[in-house]
Structure 1
Amino acid sequence: MEKHGVVPDVLDIVPKHVAEVTYDKGVKVQLGNKLTPTQVKNPPTVKWDAENDAFYTLCMTDPDAPSRKTPKFREWHHWLVVNIPGNNIDKGDVISDYVGSGPPKDTGLHRYVIIVYKQPGKITCSEKKIPNNSGDGRGKFSIKGFAQKYNLGEPISANFYQAEWDDYVPTLYKQLGM
């Protein structure tokens, strides 16, 4: 994570554990491997070392929007779920529905970071809920700021992949009304 600048661009420290992130057809996220927007268009399964009686926050964010050279929208978050009981993401409270990777054409590789925090208890968020057909409110996000606001502490688990434009991206942009 340090080699690819996830620390310090997104996180202050490397979490102790690597989240297990698997997309359709068994496609795995492996600490910076390259995947395509086509491969990651649907939400992945994410597993971490969870306690059944604890709540967790899960975030997927892109610090390279619109490009790594000019990240003026850093961070653009793709997914945000809070109050996840144990590893059961489907039972959490969705703040931002999952949106796959959509790096603009000719902007090179973008880093997509999946981060898990253990919450101190159940939380109530003031952020507006964002559906998967909207890009509004996703840019200029800070997972560090969100974690600080809700007293989440340091992340317990994370993983990331890199992706660049492919022919699925225009379909995603249409879904987002862009």
Structure 2
Amino acid sequence: MEIISESSATAVINASIESIDLTEWVFTLKSHEYQACSTGHIAAGSSISADGKRMSINVEQVAGNLLVQNYIEEIGKRDHCRLNSISDSFSDSGRTKLGVIWELKVEKLTPNSCQFTNLVKVLMTDEFSSMLRSAGITDLSPIKAGMSENVSLHNQEETPLFAKDIERKAHSGVWK
């Protein structure tokens, strides 16, 4: 699938890398904790996919689009988590599907700090492409530019707040 938007944001977590478990953080994130990390966050929960993989289900609003994301675990390490979703997107243009990859990493800076990276990629789906063609949109440049700006702004808001939540949990010792 073609990448139509990509955003990476970083923040420092003041905790040792050994005290962090990104994958457990994703799959145990409570709705109120998720909501506290962005004004666009509506709800979060977890489930199991039809093939038995862990899922993180997130509902958020980004620039007027309501997104229901069903992230399936692809990489599940303490320092690296990658999730893949075919997400439902609701906007004034109607309902469609977007591919979304959400990837989280931590890298050790010092014995008591890490660099946290939050990477989000939005991917073209056949359904979204078809919706654009039906609307007579053939030049994707404005779509990509607008989506990139909105995803980047959202990522810049949520990343430092995700890092603070991870830091708080690391200090509480939940992932020993």
TM-score using structure 2 length: 0.30
TM-score using structure 1 length: 0.30
Which is helix-richer, 1 or 2? 2
Higher-Rg member (1/2): 2
Which is strand-richer, 1 or 2? 2
